[in-house]
Structure 1
């Protein structure tokens, strides 16, 4: 029996309107896969993982989660960037794309710099610079061992 590595391949964000959400994420700079995407679902390469946008009702029904589904379950999607300036640029891009700024970017108690926004469906995003984490050339976090 082989060991299955622990990793995340795909994050699905359940949305009210796939077309509207797709336009928002494209304005943030995500490139939609035209081949993999369909009218009912959009797929974006997001570093080593795939970000998917799928209808909220379809996701709830597919997961058979009607009793559990209440919308955002307290999950925050985060994007780590290489500098405070890059955080400011992304927060401005998010706001210009229609995001609601929840917390303007500011220095943190732990020595970093972050801000939060909500996408049009209320999904919370953190945009952060962590001076203690290295990013590789593709922007992936390389955790200290």
Structure 2
């Protein structure tokens, strides 16, 4: 198996609201293959899909019983400059998200904060001086 993540699909409660948050609020581009049942956004290095939670649970053959607490994973958006962390957190709030942890210095020498999107998915916005971006915009980490 080749190590890669091709698509991250978020099960959402309200597809139009979720689309608005990411497209209008965060400024992400929606792919033309999207329709009234699923939204695809090409982001650097992968694809983000938004799909109604009940359909996603059905597709995976699991019960749709969303945990209202911590979902045991986070998504991360790394930035090139420290000041971008606070800017993106504020952009998320204006779009309808909620800051769960304000931007602050980290124990590992970076700067980060967290927001929750309207469906409660946690996003870390981080500046890490130890990681570099490749020319195509993907994050590079040491071997």
Could you say which TM-score interval applies, normalised by the shorter chain? over 0.9
The 8 Å contact of residues 99 and 119 in structure 1, kept in 2 or not, is answered as yes
1:139 aligns with 2:137: yes
**Structure 1 residue 65 and structure 2 residue 62: aligned?**
yes
Q: CA deviation at 1:139?
A: 2.7
- The answer to whether 1:5 aligns with 2:16 is no
Task: Report the equivalent of 1:126.
Answer: 124
Q: Number of paired residues?
A: 140
Q: Distance in 1 between matches of 2:129 and 2:14?
A: 36
Q: CA deviation at 1:65?
A: 1.2
Alignment of 1:7-46 (within 5 A): 7-26=4-23, 27-33=25-31, 35-46=32-43
Q: Using the alignment, how far apart are the partners of 1:139 and 1:93 within structure 2?
A: 20
Q: Are 1:105 and 1:114, in contact at CA under 8 Å, matched by a contact in 2?
A: yes
Structure 1 unaligned blocks of 5 or more: none
The one-character-per-residue Cα deviations of 1:89-128 (angstroms, maximum 9, x if unpaired) are: 1111101111010011111011000000000000000000
Q: CA RMSD in A?
A: 1.3
Structure 2: 5+ residue stretches without partners: none
TM-score, length-normalised on structure 1? 0.91
Match among 83, 93, 96 for residue 94 of structure 2? 96
